Structure 1
């Protein structure tokens, strides 16, 4: 068996031998597949994103060639930007073959490349570790179990499993795919900012007890007094956990998972309740097609490292013989049906999702409807009937559109507000297509079919016209990590336009 190639691979292997030796061989066996899957995501970024050190791209029968500004040449296989589950065995740089994404990135010697190579190293090692988790058999018994089945993370992001600062023991103890029970801590905070009715059991005299993730307590808030808190079950986002069947808690986790440092700003605490109430009122216009997992209460110590948001569980919106399923988990859920039935259910979901998201956008709310935040209510036959949305921290709200449709001006200020149609559309379309429909389609041809079917009968708004005729906005995930900047964009060919041609 091939030995570990990189520091992160070796470090996790050594730790695993200590804390769970029975999984060490499975981890080593999973490394090759993890390398090729992360390399496929990286190659997608190199081929399709506006990286300043790539001078030209050319496609041929033998794949794709990239010419760098310094004259070097990258060569790899064809890359469908919407493909999922495909592996890339190797990419050549000036004739030298690289099968590890971190080693390739280090060899490129581009600005930001060394730090990004370390993240890619973590992504491969953590993905291999995630794939050692036994896959559960049979249907989920508890609602949160449906969020603990997929080991691979973001379907297009090269750092889909990067968890810097997490040891092997901590990943096993806290990551959802390993299905642990996580013991939260409670940090007493005098003079905390509180929005909404804070639970009485999370008070200690005049102090507010703020739930703290154990990783945060050890690595960021070490030395601060904490008390034992409730047990909880980690969900897709890792730092959000189910307390029970009715309540989820979002905790601060000051490390970079995928792209973002997962803390909670004072702004989010201040406006969490008002944002939730506003979006619920707007969603009521959609006739029951969309439920909001509303914010119940929030509290913070005035810093992003110590705050928490308590939300309604989205699973309370399931009726008799219905299930609520995160969109990221729909590919596995629909896989139990035959190809034609599967495509029919995906198409129905696409119609529902675009109808809801574009109607809500027209009213003035741009959801960040990716695979974690958007959930589908499906009936016993697997047909999507309604949607649920959770986590309103990064939506965008258009005051002008709200007022145009008879809503009062939002009781908010700051970054959530934006009237720019391009910004609003990017927020909705990039998340919905990249985070939801792209993974369900699995390739550009099927995605074009889904988009055409989903939008054919929708009202002809300017947002719909843009979706049907313009290139599709997608976050430039590789560029973002190399530049350490948020929200960099690329615009991919629209598969609906290609079909029309």
Structure 2
């Protein structure tokens, strides 16, 4: 049934050259990796508003999609909140496909060839990540980067969960967080007169009249075509372009490679607004009754280019005290804690309390599993949240005004909206359909946790919408098949609360 596309033999050949010890585990892991990506793709095919799907029909053993050209695509009953690889085969007009890239090629839809190549790369890259998995055993990580290394499979719902088309095997081993590397950052000296600096740029990153901008080594080699010098050692985090300096801040670097969906550079506008957004974040946290901390941006700089820019952000670990641990929500599934329904309900209650309170105030957080972290007590109870990276929040001036909160100067226009649909999509799509769903691991478990959590929450129009309307989420597959459509596209999922 399966014939390899380009990425698999190329990856195997590279791996044989740079890490031959991983080749047997990589090869053995390919079927499971293909199933994991196929599961994510089937989620998108079953739920995204794809223009070439005429209708979706329940079948005795699953779901059938009737395509506009008359063909039938069938697979198992889709659980849009499942995180296990439960889809092993999808059938197109009776022919079985266990490989997501070959299925996408066979569909012959607009822009499908490009997505097929990305799916091919996603599957082999995922197999590589799993082949080099580090097991902590009973020991819980201490450092933030160790927690983030545990997120081996990447995004729980994106079919491009491990797509890194600009990265060779050697690049992935050298720079991807799940492989646990130490990365040596570069320092690009730029004349201060050419730089836009926001916040406090530290003295150790200045050299006379020059600003030293931290540069990811991949960016230096492939985009800037230079070696900008030796900077500090750091550990890559989940976003790959953000790195943790041991004992110091997190450094968000420009990385002009397509990862999952988008190119990871840093816009000049983001640098200009970083200080205002950071101060705004501090004011938000002050209104959370101690349940939310937002990491501060310490400084940001750019040489007037999205390809040469960096932000320094405080580490989330500063918000832990004593025996507390700060854990990225994406890593919670590796702890075993979500297997306890009472713990899951308690975590959902905390997350919804904070998210809905901020939304009522006028701020919709993009609280997905990467941006959102939870502080666990010594007994492993969820006690408060930490949020990082305010770049993609949405802010409602009208809601702020209703609560007597002035809109700060310098806020980017693109994040301002009073559209209630846009505000709820931002929060519900990231927090509920993303962070909480990925932690729960199935629609049934998510519904149970939410059902317990909402009983104790004050009723508001936003909560009523969450409880009574379909759950919005980004149409990730549609977005990859719509390269000329800017911005996010959305779909609705069955409400897990029934």
| 1:17-96 map, 5 Å | 17-96=16-95
Of 389, 397, 407, which aligns to 1:409? 407
Deviations 1:199-222 (A, max 9, x none): 112112222111111111111111
Residue of structure 2 in register with 1:187 after alignment: 188
Q: Is the CA contact (8 Å cut-off) linking 2:37 and 2:123 kept in structure 1?
A: yes
Provide the rounded CA distance (Å) in 2 between the counterparts of 1:202 and 1:245. 16
Deviates more, 1:353-362 or 1:412-421: 412-421
Please, which runs of 5 or more residues in structure 2 have no aligned partner?
A: none
Write out the 4+ residue segments of structure 1 that deviate beyond 6 Å after TM superposition. none
Q: For 1:317 and 1:135, how far apart are their aligned partners in 2?
A: 27
Number of the residue aligned with 2:461: 462
Name the residue aligned to 2:249.
247
Is 1:199 the counterpart of 2:202? The answer is yes
Structure 1 equivalent of residue 170 of structure 2:
169
TM-score by length of 2: 0.96
What is the TM-score normalised by the length of structure 1?
0.96
Are positions 1:386 and 2:384 aligned together? yes
What aligned pairs does 1:268-307 form with structure 2 within 5 A after superposition? 268-307=270-309
Q: CA deviation at 1:186?
A: 1.0
Q: Which of the residues 265, 269, 290 maps onto 1:263?
A: 265
Instruction: Tell me what 2:121 maps to.
Output: 122
In structure 1, what is the equivalent of residue 375 of structure 2?
A: 377
CA offsets 1:338-379 (integer angstroms, 9 cap, x no match): x4xx22111111000000011011111111000010000001
The aligned length equals 491
Q: Distance in 1 between matches of 2:99 and 2:324?
A: 43
Distance in 2 (CA, whole Å) between partners of 1:165 and 1:249 is 21
Cα offsets for 1:365-411 (capped at 9, x unmatched): 11100001000000111100000000111111112211221222221
User: What's the offset of the Cα at 1:302?
Assistant: 1.5
Distance apart, 1:421 and its partner CA: 1.2
How many angstroms apart in 2 are the aligned matches of 1:311 and 1:263? 16
> Equivalents in 2 of 1:398, 1:283: separation in Å?
17
Q: Is the 8 A contact 2:150 2:334 kept in 1?
A: no
Q: Which moved more, 1:191-200 or 1:407-416?
A: 407-416
Which of 205, 219, 224 pairs up with 1:221?
Answer: 224
Q: Residue in 2 aligned with 1:362?
A: 360
Counterpart-to-counterpart distance in 1, 2:61 and 2:424? 36
Q: Does 1:334 align with 2:332?
A: no
Distance of 2:65 and 2:240 partners within structure 1: 36
Partner of 2:158: 157
My pick for the range that moved more, 150-159 or 84-93, is: 84-93
Q: What are the superposed Cα offsets for residues 208-262 of structure 1, whole Å, 9 maximum, x if unpaired?
A: 1111111111111114x51111100011111110012341001111111111211
Report the secondary structure of 1:415's partner residue.
helix
**1:86 to partner: Cα distance:** 2.7
* Separation in structure 1 between the aligned mates of residue 479 and residue 219 of structure 2, nearest angstrom: 25
Q: How does 1:2-21 map to 2 (within 5 A)?
A: 5-21=4-20
Q: Deviation at 1:413? A: 3.6
User: By how many angstroms is 1:3 displaced?
Assistant: 8.9
Cα RMSD, aligned residues only: 1.4
CA offset at residue 420 of structure 1? 1.1
**Corresponding position of 1:320:** 322
- 2-structure distance, mates of 1:266, 1:186: 18
Change (3 A) 1:207 1:465: same
Deviation at 1:142, TM superposition (A): 2.5
